[in-house]
Structure 1
């Protein structure tokens, strides 16, 4: 609906006040000798106009005030020969111009601040709407998927009647697909929250060797389904070592899981995925390698970008978010992550984290 701009009570009141003040100052100026300079009183009127009325009106009032202040040198009597009177009028005129300029600049600053505050408020509201939308969408997507998984488990257990071995395999494949969808939804939510709020870590002393063992145990079935063997070694040492660092065990577990699962998915059937733990005393390095097709040189810098899936024979099968989330977690732990090709074939993903003393790990 269009607003009626013909009548605004606040503007109308301001115009009446300005007009009344102008008449008072004019009366003081022209009913007293020119030696008495009342033009300084226009400063208050100029400030009032700048705060209440349009900018063009403020300019007009300023020019009128300057004109009336100088006009008093001729009207009602000519006083151009009186140097002190002339100097006072010129100083008063300069003061009015400076007042108008400062008032206008202050008004511009206030308008700029108001615009910024409005933008910040709009952004905060938008962020809140997006957060509510993502949370609601995630819940609405996960709930039916989890319900479907439980229903498939019931079928698999024979609660709705006997099932054949072929049906058993199909139900298993359907459960696997649904679990992958749930994981994708959770990853999307995690990436969104990390980008908007930052990654919140529950830091404690963790042993990377223990996390590697746990990740291998979790992904052994995936490796078996692809006929890929997972091995863990400790670089130049033949003995199990402790690789203590300060980190969030749950988040670092996700790093191991993402990198190992990525290697399994790209490893040729019958080959192995190798996890190597190395340390130089001040840092620990975790390497996950496979014997797959490797990567082209131009896509290596893009592997950890959001939604990047590659364009070579090593085409990712997921959403392109796993490596992006992995980079977020490693960088939040003040570490670095990189990828490179292995010789003669394969790919290697590695990350480096600061080490802590075994003595500190027990504190």
Structure 2
């Protein structure tokens, strides 16, 4: 995987550079080809063509040459001159020739006149033929120069091909070296990223060291993902542990009544008195009802969690509703001597509730305050508008008086700080519940009920001072 990335990047760089070299070469050839056909009036090629074609402007009549008017005009426009010679090299006609120009030439002098600048350093001379005559066509231009090359086309083609291959190989080698160095630096962080992904795959959430560069944000996001996955994994393990503990508790809670039912059923098969038979059947009924309630709790918490439980809502006066719950608790012979004080800020506060369901949630909090504290613990229940100031930090913005708060306050032994975050977990049972029956679903069900009514519930507790449970509900 490591070398595969580098190899792909390197091949891409080499192909790109090779393509650029080929395109530049083709462009150069095209430009040279176009330039070979591009001629201007002052270019050497154009002047030579003019000199060669000037033979058309020379007319011979009765053996005497003359220059046409058009030819004279061409000479004047190009600052040129012409000297016409016969076969013996003697001048027979001339136009605008320099005064120092000879009037007779030997064959050698004619060659020298063509090849070399025999007139002056500014004049270039061309040679042409017109019928049986020859002529010198001279043009005075210091920027104009004629150079004679002798070359072999095959040799030029071979040299050009060889140079092209040399430059191509050199460019590819340079591109390979640069691509390798650049690619190694660019793809090296990718190896760490891939390695980090493999570690995540095997649940290794170690963070990757972050350095500068184009991948810095990628590594930071990768580390954030590692942190999130590690947190999720930790929570999952805690949840699994609590679930296993809860299953163990529920199994124990079911085994105990089942064992009692089985034992008393076996006793009923023996000869027993009517009084004993009545006692045994009452115990069996009690245990079976407990098992039924436990299964109902399991069914209720599942439906509340999934949002499939149908609520039978109706408008309820909160003061009357809470007062009835307090009376129900005090009518229980077990708690009739307990001290429960209820105070309502207003008797007209109303909310839309499922009375039976919400009563279960409220009674759960009240019974918990009674069961998990000593018998002489005072309980105070308050009903007010707005929200309690001690929970102000829970809200991003202050709530209006369209909300009501029900507070269950006990002045008992309080709840340990390390247990408070888990009180509403479905699989949690506190350390002070070892000697009490229950499945550990009561608090979770109570919270689900309140949330189903668009409310929230918070707990504030301090060991040795007591616990305050605040239920905040939207008003009608």
TM interval, shorter chain, is: 0.3 to 0.5
Structure with more helix by fraction: 1
Q: Under a length normalisation based on structure 1, what TM-score does the superposition of the two structures give?
A: 0.46
Structure-2-length-normalised TM-score: 0.36
Highest CA radius of gyration, 1 or 2?
2
Higher strand share: 2
